[in-house]
Amino acid sequence: MDADAADLAGSEALEQELREHGLFAWLDLDIVAVEPGRAVFDLPFDEKFANISSGTVHGGITATVIDTASGFALRSTFENPAHAALTTTDLNVRYVRPARDDLRVAAEVVRAGSSMGVTECEVTTMHEGERKVVATGGTTYRLFRNADADEDED
């Protein structure tokens, strides 16, 4: 399988996982793009995600989509993304403005080494006809590349 076909197969496997995972299905996350080192998701606004007093998207939801997109971006750097093993070791979020509409989260891999991965993220929403940043952040992940290699041997 050539590299382009492998990337496509890996992206399809990640999309399937996103559709089947309970939390991601509950969030109604939609994949815009998963490519090597990058993941972009859309999260439709839903009242169940809103703060009681303001009606804006709860910060925990924003943090969750940053973590999720980061994990998928890093998984895309594995030889077998659908079976990649990794865990969040650090998550940071900077809230810039309230979100009252659908969110788009874009995660970019800054570095994906043999055991650690780092991402940067930007979360945007439509505001007064323009796409505006509502949060920025990033993650650090522990990557278990040996587990990926062990999985390939089965």
Per-residue pLDDT tens digits for 59-97:
999 999 999 999 999 999 998 888 899 999 999 999 999
What separation in angstroms does the CA of 49 have from each of 46, 52, 54, 77, 131? 6, 9, 11, 31, 20
To 10 degrees, the CA torsion angle through 54, 55, 58, 59?
-50
153: buried, middle or exposed (CB in 10 Å: 19+, 13-18, 0-12)?
exposed
* Per-residue pLDDT reduced to its tens digit, 87-128: 999 999 999 999 999 999 999 999 999 999 999 999 999 888
Does position 150 have pLDDT exceeding 90, yes or no? no
List of E strands, the chain: 30-35, 38-43, 86-95, 103-112, 116-127, 130-143
